[in-house]
């Protein structure tokens, strides 16, 4: 059982204790390149898109779910909400073998979590055929963890807005982007994780504004990027951010201070 699954089970237990909500016992869905969205997304009858599975999950009453994605290239568009807890796993031996396209999503994001949803992403690649879109987006009290996730070229890898949270457990960057992570609106991002930059030019690794908080204590960065380490406004806190990847000066309120 992976760390993210344990985390989800722990949060599920806490929610049951505090709210008395009735949660499902954990359904596993399967997505393959040879699947069909008319199927029930089971192992014997997998679906073809992650959007189909996520729509089915969000239409329910909340619960704990797992999505297993076979090797291949898939369109993005997983949209989650309403207290659903979802663990998405690709190929942990070869994360680059499972590629999710952020640029093909109707929502503009490969994965989108809002309204108290909890999302854990493991062992896959998020990229864009057009260099556009967002990899992971959270808003309105949602939480997203990403572990052993490879990010290719796109507009922004991760956006965290409206009192939501994102946790990096490990990441590899192989493509250009404006920001690895954008944080705003009383949101929180933890970047205390191993980050490998194979290639990539950014405006800044982090942009954080509007009373948000970025914690990079314990970050282990390998490689380098062309761009600022971070941009913070005067109402935003950042700890450990000097250790983030970046070859240019650090910016605060538009002025280079290092």
Dihedral of the alpha carbons of 116, 117, 118, 122, in degrees to the nearest 10: -150
- Which DSSP category does 240 fall into? S
Q: So what's the pLDDT on residue 250?
A: 78
Phi, psi (degrees; rounded to nearest 5) at 214? -125, 125
Dist CA 45 CA 206 (whole Å) = 41
Total-model pTM: 0.87
210-235 pLDDT, tens digit per residue, is 999 999 988 998 887 788 999 988 77
Q: Which helix (H) or strand (E) holds 53?
A: helix 50-58
3-state secondary structure of 195: strand
Q: Is the pLDDT of residue 5 over 80?
A: no
Cα separations in angstroms, 134 against 34, 46, 93: 26, 26, 25
Question: What average pLDDT does the segment 7-20 reach?
Answer: 42
Dist CA 178 CA 200 (whole Å) = 10
Nearest to 205 by CA among 241, 169, 170: 241
Q: What are the residues whose beta carbons fall under 8 Å from the beta carbon of 91, sequence distance 6 or more? A: 71, 97, 98, 123, 124
The model's confidence at residue 103, banded by pLDDT at 50, 70 and 90, is confident
Average pLDDT, the chain: 87
């Amino acid at each position: 059982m992976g760390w993210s699954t344990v985390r989800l089970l722990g949060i599920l237990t806490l929610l049951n204790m505090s709210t008395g909500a009735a949660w499902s016992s954990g359904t596993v869905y399967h997505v393959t390149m040879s699947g069909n969205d008319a199927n029930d997304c089971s192992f014997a009858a997998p679906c073809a898109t992650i959007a189909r599975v996520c729509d089915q999950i969000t239409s329910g009453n909340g619960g704990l779910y797992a999505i297993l994605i076979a090797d291949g290239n898939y369109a993005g568009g997983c949209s989650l909400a309403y207290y659903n807890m979802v663990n998405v796993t690709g190929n942990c031996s070869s994360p680059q073998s499972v590629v999710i396209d952020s640029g093909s999503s109707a929502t503009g994001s490969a994965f989108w979590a809002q309204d108290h949803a909890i999302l854990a992403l493991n062992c896959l690649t998020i990229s864009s055929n057009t260099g556009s879109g967002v990899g992971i987006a959270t808003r309105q009290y949602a939480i997203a963890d990403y572990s052993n996730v490879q990010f290719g070229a796109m507009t922004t890898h991760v956006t965290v807005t409206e009192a939501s949270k994102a946790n990096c457990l490990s990441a590899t960057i192989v493509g250009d982007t404006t920001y690895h992570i954008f944080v705003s609106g009383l949101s929180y991002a933890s970047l205390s994780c191993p980050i490998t930059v194979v290639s990539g030019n950014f405006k800044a690794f982090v942009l954080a504004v509007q009373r948000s908080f970025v914690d990079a204590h314990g970050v282990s960065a390998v490689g380098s990027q062309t761009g600022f380490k971070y941009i913070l406004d005067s109402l935003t806190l950042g700890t450990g951010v000097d250790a983030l990847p970046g070859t240019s000066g650090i910016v605060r309120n538009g002025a280079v201070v290092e």
